[in-house]
Amino acid sequence: MAILLSSARRGLRRLVLASALLAAYAAPALAEESLTLYTTREPGLIQPLLDTFTKDSGVKVNTVFIKDGMLERVKAEGQNSPADLLMTVDIGNLVDLVEAGVTQPVKSAALEAAIPANLRGADDQWFSLSMRGRVLYAEKSLPLNSFTYESLADPQWKGKVCIRAGQHPYNTALIAAMIAHHGEAKTEAWLRGVKANLARKATGGDRDVARDILGGICDIGLANTYYVGHMKNAKEGTDARQWGDAIKVVKPTFEQGGTHVNISGAAVSRYAPNKAQAVKLLEYLVSAPAQQLYAKANYEYPVRKGVELDPIIRDTIGELNVDPLPLTDIVKYRKQASQLVDKVGFDQ
């Protein structure tokens, strides 16, 4: 009996040891089939993309939604950060991550082929995933078919312009682009001209521009393209639908350029435990199927050429003639743009 018990114990020990060895070998394989995404994007906008990626690739995405403070969190976590991919909106936020040293470069033929050079970092540290144009909302009876950003300061629009705060990232990015095109002195004069043309204080949101055009407060204003889709797809009779129906959209350009765009984008975390999987997700997000989902989910413009737009955006706005100036040339003027907003008292 003692012999039988001793044999059983030895067998149990061997089974435990074998299980431990199996787990040790299996752990890396399991780790390779998952990644952790830190993102500021709203869950409803990107979860369908992530679900499709997991279904097609077998790679699970552990998503951490961070409304504010992504950079601070990743810096605090340091080398122990579980983050593999960092996704956010606005070129300024992406460049902040790069300049803080929490990202790493990625060489990928698929990313280079899908994303135009002016919409990705020259050092391969960040990549655009979708675009939103900064366009003109106009009272729909106005005989306007074309417009330049420079014209926004023309005295003919005195008391007729609505816009959100100059210090909002959407507008500081545009002002930075103006500096890149014309220099700081001319941009200051332009910004003073725009301020002189305001119908009300620079405040509120982009949809408020359409609201105030409907209310007769202003005739024109700057806002992002995707809000048009949200307003025009709102339920009949709602305020948002009435705002959308009250405007037409004109695609402004710089005098020597195209339409200003901002982006959503992503970068691989510096200490990514699962870099290969992070790159795989990045490459999926710029594939034609994923870009189509981007276009549908939030009325955004795909960065990949040849992808069909959402029907509302296609019929209301159409394709953009994107300003060819590299975003890296624009974003370096963010600080000067913010200082100019304060200097001219734009938001006061």
Average pLDDT, the chain: 91
Rounded to whole angstroms, the Cα distance separating 141 from 262 reads 28
Rounded to whole angstroms, the Cα distance separating 48 from 235 reads 23
35 forms bridges with which residues in the sheet? 61
| Contact of 258 with 322, CB cutoff 8 Å | yes
Residues 6 or more apart in contact with residue 306 via CB below 8 angstroms: 288
| Contact of 163 with 209, CB cutoff 8 Å | yes
Annotate 245-287 with DSSP letters as a single string: HTEEEE--B-TTS-B-EEEEEEEEETT-TTHHHHHHHHHHHTS
pLDDT beyond 50 at 312 = yes
Q: What confidence tens digit (pLDDT) does each residue in 142-195 have?
A: 999 999 999 999 999 999 999 999 999 999 999 999 999 999 999 999 999 999
Q: From the CB of residue 246, how many other CB atoms can be counted at a distance below 10 Å?
A: 20
Query: 336: pLDDT confidence band, cut at 50, 70 and 90?
Result: very high
pLDDT beyond 70 at 12 = no
Residues 6 or more apart in contact with residue 332 via CB below 8 angstroms: 176
Q: Average of pLDDT values for 300-306?
A: 96
pLDDT beyond 50 at 198 = yes
Given the candidates 3.40.30.10, 3.40.50.2300, 1.10.530.10, 3.40.190.10, the CATH classification of the domain at 29-131+263-309 is: 3.40.190.10
Q: Average of pLDDT values for 307-319?
A: 96
pLDDT beyond 80 at 31 = no
Identify which has the larger pLDDT, 293 or 285.
Answer: 285
Residue 68 buriedness (CB in 10 A; 0-12 / 13-18 / 19+)? exposed
Rounded to whole angstroms, the Cα distance separating 56 from 108 reads 20
| Contact of 253 with 181, CB cutoff 8 Å | no
Q: What confidence tens digit (pLDDT) does each residue in 56-111 have?
A: 999 999 999 999 999 999 999 999 999 999 999 999 999 999 999 999 999 999 99
Q: Residue 297: what pLDDT?
A: 84
Q: Average of pLDDT values for 20-27?
A: 37
Q: Residue 45: what pLDDT?
A: 84
Q: From the CB of residue 196, how many other CB atoms can be counted at a distance below 10 Å?
A: 14
Place of tokens 């993102």: 39
pLDDT beyond 60 at 246 = yes
Q: Residue 22: what pLDDT?
A: 33
Residues 6 or more apart in contact with residue 312 via CB below 8 angstroms: 228, 229, 232, 233, 299
pLDDT beyond 80 at 53 = yes
Q: Residue 44: what pLDDT?
A: 81
pLDDT beyond 50 at 46 = yes
Query: 296: pLDDT confidence band, cut at 50, 70 and 90?
Result: confident
- DSSP code, position 308: P
pLDDT beyond 90 at 30 = no
Q: Residue 43: what pLDDT?
A: 82
Given the candidates 3.40.30.10, 3.90.550.10, 3.40.190.10, 3.30.450.20, the CATH classification of the domain at 133-260+322-343 is: 3.40.190.10
Q: Which residues of the chain form CATH 3.40.190.10? A: 29-131+263-309, 133-260+322-343
Nearest Cα neighbor of 220 from 233, 210, 228 is: 210
